[in-house]
Amino acid sequence: GRISGAGGRVRHAACPGATATRIRAPQRKTVNPRWMLLAGVLTVSLAALIIRLAAEAPPLVIGAYRLTTASLVVVPLALMRGELRGLTRASVVPALLSGAFLAAHFGFWISSFEHTSVASSVVLVTISPLFVAMAAPLFTGDRPTRRMGIGMLIALAGTGFIAYGDAGADPGSLWGNFLAVMGAVAVASYYIIGRRLRASLSLLAYVALVYPMAAFGLIIAASLAGNNLVGYAPPILLWMALLGLGPQVVGHTALNWALKYVDPVVVSTVVNAEPVIASLLVWLVLGEAPTLVQAAGGAVVLAGVYLTVSGETAAARGRKQHSPPLEGGVRGG
């Protein structure tokens, strides 16, 4: 048999009957997780604007193109690097379930744009921290600290201010708001499952399983809804492809990477900055200026995000440092 010595080098054990097991030294993260969170939320914030620009296509089709484009990027990379070899059912089944929740998230959320305002939709889908906070202690053991909880509540209060600013909503917006909330429930489930899987799966292996499953689910849903999957004008196809390359490949993958090192409540609360950034982008590109109430709510959201991120305790950081490394740990079998 063999065991690893200092620095991850392999030496032979004295026991002749021992099996060969390779232990890798823990890999140090080379990028600050908070910078990755920032990059992720900035890129994800482009999604609402791009969806508006691609609005000639049905919502489920937009989601299907988004995830299909992302899959065409990450799956070949995973295969070339051998990331999908040696996967176990214990990893694959939860990853596929995570993909189903991601498909549900985009299906609900993008559909909500047809029934309610962009501001309300983006705000309501970011209440996922409430659902993460309620479920995370049961499934991951992650418990928000008091400061994180205060920051989360402040951020959610800010999203309420933004939603209140959408005073001209018609009665039909209730259904759109419900769809956005269901999108929040789905993405909270996606975050929680991802937190558990990222302790044992590399990021590339994880997204190479999750994204195709989500794409497949949205393609089936679009087909059942009677939507055409082809025949769209080149500009619409371009916007849908950019939605997959930007917010999905760069944005969501950055958030997935951060889940390895950061509490899921922190990740999902940081995403509360999306309504602020998305409103600014829509203002700059489409000329839809946010109201004073929405601007005030945006400031409150950012304050809550800061409190939540800075509220990670030394104990929580120590817990993450003792979690299995990205590609390390004992490999048996």
What secondary structure does DSSP assign to 56-120, as a single string?
TS-HHHHHHHHHHHHHHHHHHHHHHTTTTTT--HHHHHHHHHHHHHHHHHHHHHHHHTTTS-HHH
Specify the residue for token string 């890798």.
24
- Does the pLDDT value for residue 27 go beyond 70? no
- Is the residue at 21 inside a domain? no
314 or 212, which is more confident? 212
| CB-side neighbour CA atoms (13 Å) of 28 | 3
- Give the number of domains in the chain: 1
- Does the pLDDT value for residue 237 go beyond 70? yes
What would you report as the CA-atom Rg of the chain, rounded to the nearest whole angstrom? Answer: 21
- Is the residue at 12 inside a domain? no
- Does the pLDDT value for residue 269 go beyond 80? no
- Is the residue at 153 inside a domain? yes
- Is the residue at 190 inside a domain? yes
The pTM of this model reads: 0.74
3-state class of 254 per DSSP?
Answer: helix
- Is the residue at 142 inside a domain? yes
- Is the residue at 73 inside a domain? yes
- Is the residue at 325 inside a domain? no
Structure letter (DSSP) for residue 143: -
- Does the pLDDT value for residue 5 go beyond 50? no
Q: Residue 164 is which amino acid?
A: Y
Specify the residue for token string 């489409």.
286
28 Cβ contact partners less than 8 Å away, ≥ 6 residues apart: none
Give the per-residue pLDDT at 324: 39
**Pair 307, 154: CB distance under 8 Å:** yes
Domain holding 103, by residue range, is: 40-311
How do residues 47-61 score in pLDDT, each as one tens digit? 999 999 998 999 999
- Is the residue at 95 inside a domain? yes
The segment with the largest mean pLDDT, out of 85-99, 194-208, 251-265, is: 85-99
